[in-house]
Amino acid sequence: MRSRLDDPLDPDRPLIMFLGDDIDDEDHDILFPALRDHGVSVIRVHPFDLVIRLDRDQITFSVDGREIRPDLVVGWVLDELLRPGMAHLDVLERAGIPVINDALTLLRAQNKYTNSAMLAAGGALRFPVIVGRDDEALLDWFGELDGPAVTKPTVGFGGRGLGKLESLDDAHSYLAELPENEQYYAVPWIDNPGRDIRVYLVNHHPVFAMYRYAPDGAWITNVRAGGHIAMCPLTDEIAELARTASQAAGTLIGGVDVAENQATGELVVYEANSCPTCEPPVLKELAGFLAAAARDLDSALANWRPSRVYQELDPDPELFHASKRGLLR
């Protein structure tokens, strides 16, 4: 069974259904028991395990032969599960079930083009972006830059497919290798100190942040690319920029990637994430928010605040998942 159905589903408890797979099992091992401690039932349903019946007067949902009616659904689908997951999330909402990080939020956040457009509209984008398929347009744009550029696939995560253009020859080579049916996406290279900052937010409230360091001799900082991590105190400046980006993206559960621009002295948002792997302090706060949202979403959106915001340096390794403690520096 691809789903995680290890809850007896007490009818007296609100039910939260995560729509996703096992990519974040380490998170769920902490989050799901915490939710149950808040008096909430929780299951994870793989998109391919959900059965939907559309009848004249009603829509019903079942999994493993059991009909379910969640009080809240959390959308956590990405990559190849994004589109089938989006269809389910849309239908669940049409059936009157509240969804957090709904279909359009996930689609927009998981495409770097629309992600950047949302940040720009919300006042959180502080560098130029170019997207398209016209080779000359990219070459002209690159020629106007005072330095290198970074190219990224419009869809993907974990630092996959990133490239650095340091010369016009690099730009020509990149375009020659770009598949005809793919658009380019490019941003200026940010002169950072070999790290970026991942800020975790719940209900648009910054909770916890960490530095992500590139491996020696490399520049991609993502943990999945072999980087190292450390706790980062949430300063007012970091928190406010991350909040602005989260609100622009509409991610009620999310992460915002922030760079320290050494050339200008300002902070820059790279992107907002809709399905970030979260660390234990975030999961503790997330459990409280989701439990409140399962009972009354409007009230939770208006009134929920984190019980703790990590503004001071804390070297405790237990702030991070056990699997990542070997990456601490």
> What digits encode the pLDDT tens for the residues 73-86?
999 999 999 999 99
- Integer Cα distance of 132 and 219 in angstroms: 25
| CATH tag, 128-188 | 3.30.1490.20
pLDDT reported for residue 159: 62
CA 249 to chain centroid: 10
CB 229 within 8 A of CB 223: yes
pLDDT reported for residue 120: 97
| CATH tag, 15-108 | 3.40.50.20
Residue 13 has, within 13 A of its CA and on its CB side, a CA count of: 17
CB 285 within 8 A of CB 207: yes
Q: Is pLDDT of 255 > 90?
A: yes
pLDDT reported for residue 226: 73
Phi, psi of 270 (to 5 degrees): -80, -55
CA nearest to 31, candidates 71, 64, 1, 74: 74
Domain with CATH 3.30.1490.20 in the chain: 128-188
- Mean pLDDT calculated for residue range 116-134: 96
pLDDT reported for residue 220: 79
- Integer Cα distance of 271 and 246 in angstroms: 9
303 three-state secondary structure: helix
pLDDT reported for residue 52: 98
pLDDT reported for residue 221: 81
Residue 129 has, within 13 A of its CA and on its CB side, a CA count of: 22
Domain with CATH 3.30.470.20 in the chain: 195-327
Q: Which amino acid is at 231?
A: M
* pLDDT tens digits for range 189-243: 999 999 999 999 999 999 999 999 998 878 878 777 678 999 999 999 999 999 9
- The secondary structure of residue 228, as a DSSP letter, is E
CA nearest to 18, candidates 55, 49, 53: 49
Q: What is the pTM of this model?
A: 0.95
**Residue 146 pLDDT grade (very low, low, confident, very high; cuts 50, 70, 90):** confident
- Integer Cα distance of 235 and 156 in angstroms: 29
CA nearest to 321, candidates 29, 94, 92, 3: 29
Percent with pLDDT over 90 in the chain: 91
The mean of the pLDDT values for the chain is: 95
Q: Is pLDDT of 281 > 80?
A: yes
* pLDDT tens digits for range 17-67: 999 999 999 999 999 999 999 999 999 999 999 999 999 989 999 999 999
What architecture (CATH level 2) is domain 195-327? Answer: 2-Layer Sandwich (3.30)
Q: Which residues contact 10 (CB under 8 A, 6 or more apart)?
A: 41
- The secondary structure of residue 200, as a DSSP letter, is E
Percent with pLDDT over 70 in the chain: 98
Angle at 118 between CA 114 and CA 120, to 5 degrees: 115
pLDDT reported for residue 84: 97
Q: How many CB atoms lie within 10 A of CB 131?
A: 18
pLDDT reported for residue 158: 64
Q: Is pLDDT of 272 > 90?
A: yes
Domain with CATH 3.40.50.20 in the chain: 15-108
